[in-house]
Amino acid sequence: MKLEGSYAMPAPRQAVWEAFLDPERLRQALPGCEKLEKVGEDEYKATLKAGVGAVKGTFEGKVRLFDLQPPQSYRMTVEGSGGPGFLRGEAVMTLSDGADGGTTISYTADVQVGGLIAGVGQRMLGGVSKMMADQFFTRMTELLAK
Number of domains in the chain: 1
Residue 89: which of 68, 102, 107, 116 has the closest Cα? Answer: 107
d(CA 134, CA 97): 20
The yes-or-no verdict on residue 117 having pLDDT over 90 is: no
Confidence of residue 146 (pLDDT cuts 50, 70, 90): confident
pLDDT in tens, 54-105: 778 899 999 999 999 999 999 999 999 998 889 899 999 999 999 899 999 9
| The model's pTM | 0.87
- Domain hosting 77: range is 2-145
pLDDT tens digit sequence for 21-44: 999 999 999 888 999 999 999 999
- DSSP, residue by residue, 5-56: EEEEESS-HHHHHHHHT-HHHHHHHSTTEEEEEEEETTEEEEEEEEEETTEE
Task: Say if residues 86 and 80 touch (Cβ distance below 8 Å).
Answer: yes
Q: What is the CATH number of the domain that holds 73?
A: 3.30.530.20
What pLDDT does residue 121 have?
65
pLDDT exceeds cutoff 70 at 122: no
Distance in Å from the first CA to the final CA of the chain = 34
By CB atoms closer than 10 A (0-12, 13-18, 19+), residue 90 is middle
Q: What is the pLDDT of residue 54?
A: 73
Q: Mean per-residue pLDDT for 42-59?
A: 86
Q: Is the peptide bond before 84 cis (omega within 30 degrees of 0)?
A: no
